[in-house]
Structure 1
Amino acid sequence: MRGTSKPEVCVIGLGYIGLPTAAIIARANCRVTGIDVNAQVVDTINRGEIHIEEIDLDGLVQGVVQRGMLRAATEIVPADVFVIAVPTPFEKDGNHTPDVSHVLAAATSLAAVLKKGDCIILESTSPVGTTEKLRDRLAGLRPDLKMPGLTRDTPDISIAYCPERVLPGRILEELTHNDRSIGGITPRCARKALAFYKLFVRGTCVTTDARSAEMTKLVENAYRDVNIAFANELSMIADRMGLDVWEVIRLANRHPRVNILQPGPGVGGHCIAVDPWFIVSSAPEEARVIRTAREVNDAKMHHVLARATALVEAHPHVPVACLGLAFKANIDDFRESPARFVAASLARKFGSRMRVVEPYASELPPEFADTGATLVDIDTALETCGVLIVLVDHDVFRVVPLEERSRAAVYDTRGIWPDAGEPARPDLRLAG
């Protein structure tokens, strides 16, 4: 970023975070090249279209592509600022070990075009120390460039970590207005990244060190996971005691210092269902509450599956509708979704009896193949199914009136139909 001119930016990874980030940077009049390994994604964006569902993103992408401020490619190009927004999944060892290979692969690719003065910012949610690993990878590949933290001289490159804090369905607004924690390998790196984010972020940008910023992101999602686990565990206890968990929570929340969250079928998404394990992996002996919360929320999926299975078996030969596959309401993101797990498990067991209602899907995910389950709309489900299993609180489900669902046995895991009343068999009006 020379003088007062806007930097050329390269955003690596054009998924649920990378594409909105690239579009917002482009809206700030920075020329942006977005990089993705999927050629179909690249072609879609270069047509001014999008491959993900997000409010107002389609119009923004169309506009910045038409203005020539955003283009997509499969190969990394030279830039002044590189923003890495690639996945950080688990290793395939079954132990929830973080896999940062995509981050290091991005570092390897950009090393070839790196030049003195460039700034590299990692946004991918990562275990503590990943930003330093990225730096070390670059240092090994480009010994001609002085790297921050490895030289007493002024470094040639700036490297920082700056995670997003966004809610699907509000990503554009929150990328712009939410506060940011910017962690530099050195204070100089943090200041360089700060100057970049101030071009398009209206929220407060706070500088710190890279390791603290990495931990902050993990702590934010672990905190939410622990609170959700309390609600989910409470729902299972209430079930054992024959209590209405929604009523218990409603009354308890009248206490001025109590704010219990609403239970559900588990926890999904690529953040809350994943990030706490990064802390557990780094400190397995100390992270006892965090580990337990993860185990409780995973157990809730199996609890819901068991109760749903019992309900379906109690109504033999009756078509059954699972309402929702997404990990939360009103989005098309099915990653780590407990609803998807429950619906697919039921489809494998009950086959063609199963109907799935998901307004944000044009087809069922691959695991439904050969099960006989079909994708239907909400009206078809209400007209033909004698069992309704609510797994996601999409708005289109919330507004279904009592008279349209009163004939069916209902298992409402989201508490969206408190007026349900009693079915023909009152023991089967389940909740929680």
Structure 2
Amino acid sequence: MSVKKISVSGLGYIGLPTATMFAHHGAKVIGLDVNQHAIDTINQGKIHIVEPGLEEIVKSVVESGHLKASLVAEPADAFLIAVPTPFKGEDHTPDLSYIEAAVRTISPVLEKGNVVILESTSPVGATEQMVEWLFAHRPDLKFATHANDTEVDVFIAYCPERVLPGQVIRELVENDRTIGGITPESAKKAAEVYRIFVKGELVITNARTAEMTKLTENAFRDVNIAFANELSLIGDRLDINVWELIALANRHPRVNILSPGAGVGGHCIAVDPWFIVNKTPDLARMVATAREVNDYKPKWVVEKIEQEVAKLGDLGRKPKVALLGLAFKPDIDDLRESPAVEIAVDMGKKEGIELLLVEPNIEKLPKKIKNGTLISQEYALNKADLLIICVSHSSFKSIKKDHRFISFVN
């Protein structure tokens, strides 16, 4: 199979870097998105997200004609779908409507021999559901529903990313990829697509196992973070410095406890374990408990901040409380599922304080944060009565700390 043109649906934190790397390695790429601002920005050779090293490559591949962003699908050899998979509501039911919309967009231009790859982090069975949607839109094409199907017009596979924000360009190329096909031949066809730029090993399996692999990886990390966060709660209750405690425990040659924080954020670790719980609620007890521990941590942080505010006494005005950092991890602009944002939302509801917010990687606050003001780091240092560090941005590490500072990260 010769893969010369690739379509990528979803030009966000994963889709745009992926489309860019395909284009950078010689493929013609059409990037699809529903956000006109994102499309216009990319077609100007710029980016609408923060990712080190990405903008220079985007500029190059746009100028060379290898990458174009659009609202409208075009025929291609391979189609990748990298759209969000949020929850429908408070019960953490997965919302696959974005995947369904992407399928609806590309279906009219599908041809025999095409490969369709789902990259979106999804619950087990999502790839099979995608096949049903594809068949509903294109009954004239043959799609495999079982591993032993041989008469296939369009090859379907699932291949999740496993990259670290801030290191996406390098990790997209170097990391191993798990590729799960509806049929073995589908997995092989998908592997040919990724071999355009991936230097890591391409490991072949079936679609359900690939889906569960991604969820397992992030559930593993979530459980380990929950242990660290739970230690921080216990340490606070027992008047033990959790940072010293973990450092001492980690001197054991077979112990490697992670660092606690204000919670767990990002679209993966804070979301994926719930997909496991949703499918098998009677079995995924440890996974569910870890989620509950990590989801509780921002609420605990708010309680601690309120206690510190009370210690300020009567200032004759509302105390100024500055939260430093809103992204879900250091030195990025990604606010998805960020515990710091949740803390800011809750603190914004407190009438007895003036809430100041410092996030050097964004230009405006998300709408869900009420009664908070986005300010500079310098203003916060000069004016705040309390400074709460929620994220370890590089710019915060050089600050000379005084009695006003409380940090929930190491």
TM-score tier, shorter chain, comes to over 0.9
Corresponding residue number in structure 2 for 1:173: 170
Partners of 2:144 and 2:201 lie apart in 1 by 25
Q: Report SS of the residue matched to 1:227.
A: helix
What amino acid sits opposite 1:258 in the alignment? V
Any conservation in 2 of the 1:194–1:205 contact (CA below 8 Å)?
yes
Q: Which amino acid aligns with 2:409?
A: R
2:49 alignment partner in structure 1? 52
Alignment of 1:142-153 (within 5 A): 142-149=138-145, 152-153=149-150
Correspondence list, 1:149-164, <5 A: 149=145, 152-164=149-161
Residue 375 of structure 1: aligned partner:
374
Query: Which residue number corresponds to residue 306 of structure 1?
Result: 303
For residues 340 and 158 of structure 1, the distance between their equivalents in structure 2, rounded to whole angstroms, comes to: 40
Which residue of structure 2 aligns with residue 63 of structure 1?
A: 60
Letter in 2 for 1:354: L
**1:118 matches 2:114:** yes
Question: C-alpha displacement at 1:378, in angstroms?
Answer: 1.7
Three-state SS of the structure 2 residue aligned to 1:206 is: strand
- Using the TM superposition, name which of 147-156 and 15-24 deviates more: 147-156
For structure 2, which runs of at least 5 residues remain unmatched after alignment? none
Contact 2:321/2:353 (<8 A) preserved = no
**1:316-355 Cα deviation digits (max 9, x unpaired):** 4432211110111111001111111112321221466221
Q: Distance in 2 between matches of 1:38 and 1:377?
A: 29
1:377 deviation in Å?
1.8
Query: Equivalents in 2 of 1:306, 1:345: separation in Å?
Result: 10
CA distance 1:232–1:152, change in 2 (3 Å): closer
**Equivalent pair of 1:249/1:260 in contact (CA under 8 Å):** yes
Does the CA contact (< 8 Å) of 1:265 and 1:414 recur in 2? Answer: yes
Distance 1:252 1:72, change over 3 A: same
- 1:413 maps to a residue whose letter is F
TM-score (norm 2): 0.96
Counterpart residue number, 1:211: 208
Classify the secondary structure of the residue corresponding to 1:349.
Answer: coil
Give the equivalent residue in structure 2 for 1:366. 367
8 Å contact kept, 1:10–1:83: yes
Contact 1:34–1:70 (CA under 8 A) maintained in structure 2: yes
**Correspondence 1:88 to 2:85:** yes
Name which of 122, 130, 134 aligns with 2:130: 134
Decide whether the 8 Å contact of 2:74 with 2:109 is kept in 1.
yes
Cα distance in 1 for residues equivalent to 2:187 and 2:31: 23
Which letter maps to 1:62? K
1:156 Cα deviation from its structure 2 partner: 0.8
Name the residue aligned to 1:344: 345
How far is 1:146 from its partner?
1.4
What's the offset of the Cα at 1:294? 0.1
Q: Which runs of 4+ in 1 moved over 6 A?
A: none
What is the aligned partner in structure 2 of residue 98 from structure 1?
Answer: 94
Q: Match for residue 399 of structure 1?
A: 398
- State the match for 2:405 in structure 1: 410
Query: 2: CA distance between counterparts of 1:214 and 1:367?
Result: 31
Alpha carbons of structure 1 residues 153 and 178: separation in structure 2 relative to 1, 3 Å: closer
Return the alpha-carbon distance in structure 1 between the equivalents of residues 216 and 409 of structure 2: 26
In 2, Cα distance between the equivalents of 1:152 and 1:102?
28
Q: Which string of whole-angstrom CA distances, capped at 9 and with x for unpartnered residues, describes residues 337-393 of structure 1?
A: 111111232122146622111111212221334x1x322222221222221111011
Aligned equivalents of 1:103, 1:189: Cα separation in 2 = 19
Tell me the equivalent position of 2:386.
387
Residue 153 of structure 1: CA displacement?
4.1
Counterpart in the other structure of 2:4: 7
- Cα separation, 2, equivalents of 1:173 and 1:152: 37
Q: Distance in 2 between matches of 1:163 and 1:48?
A: 26
**Alpha-carbon distance in 1 for matches of 2:346, 2:254:** 39
Separation in structure 2 between the aligned mates of residue 129 and residue 245 of structure 1, nearest angstrom: 40
Amino acid corresponding to residue 408 of structure 2 in structure 1: T
Query: How do 1:256-271 and structure 2 match up within 5 A?
Result: 256-271=253-268
Q: What is the letter of the counterpart of residue 25 of structure 2?
A: A
TM-aligned CA deviation for residue 140 of structure 1 = 2.2
When residues 238 and 69 of structure 1 are mapped into structure 2, their CA distance, relative to the original with a 3 A threshold, is same
C-alpha separation in 1, matches of 2:205 and 2:53: 32
Query: Kindly, what percent of the aligned residue pairs are identical?
Result: 52
8 Å CA contact retained: 1:352, 1:374: no
Give me the whole-angstrom Cα distance separating, in 1, the residues matched to 2:346 and 2:150. Answer: 58
**Is the CA contact (8 Å cut-off) linking 2:149 and 2:183 kept in structure 1?**
no
Distance 2:276 2:369 in 1: 33
The alignment partner of 1:21 has SS state of helix
Q: Match of 1:243, SS?
A: coil
> Which AA in structure 2 matches 1:382?
L
Kindly state the Cα deviation for residue 152 of structure 1 after the two structures are TM-superposed: 4.4
The TM-score normalised by the length of structure 1 is 0.91
CA spacing shift, 1:310–1:352, aligned 2, 3 Å: closer
Identify which of 283, 287, 290 aligns with 2:287: 290
Residues in 1 aligned to 2:348 and 2:358: alpha-carbon distance in whole angstroms? 13
Distance 2:406 2:87 in 1: 32
**Does the residue aligned with 1:380 lie in a helix, a strand or coil?**
helix
Per the TM alignment, residue 167 of structure 1 is displaced from its structure 2 partner at its CA by: 0.5
2:248 and 2:50 map into 1 onto residues whose CA distance is: 36
**SS of 2:50 mapped into structure 1:** coil
Q: Indicate how the Cα distance of structure 1 residues 161 and 247 shifts in structure 2: closer, same or farther if over 3 A, else same.
A: same
In the alignment, structure 1 residue 25 sits paired with structure 2 residue 22: yes
Task: Give me the CA root mean square deviation.
Answer: 1.3
Query: In the alignment, is the contact (CA less than 8 A) between 1:146 and 1:157 conserved in 2?
Result: yes
Give the match for residue 269 of structure 2: 272
Q: Secondary structure at the match of 2:109?
A: coil
Counterpart in 2 of 1:424?
Answer: none
Task: Report what 2:37 is aligned to.
Answer: 40
- In structure 2, what is the Cα distance between the partners aligned to 1:354 and 1:43? 34
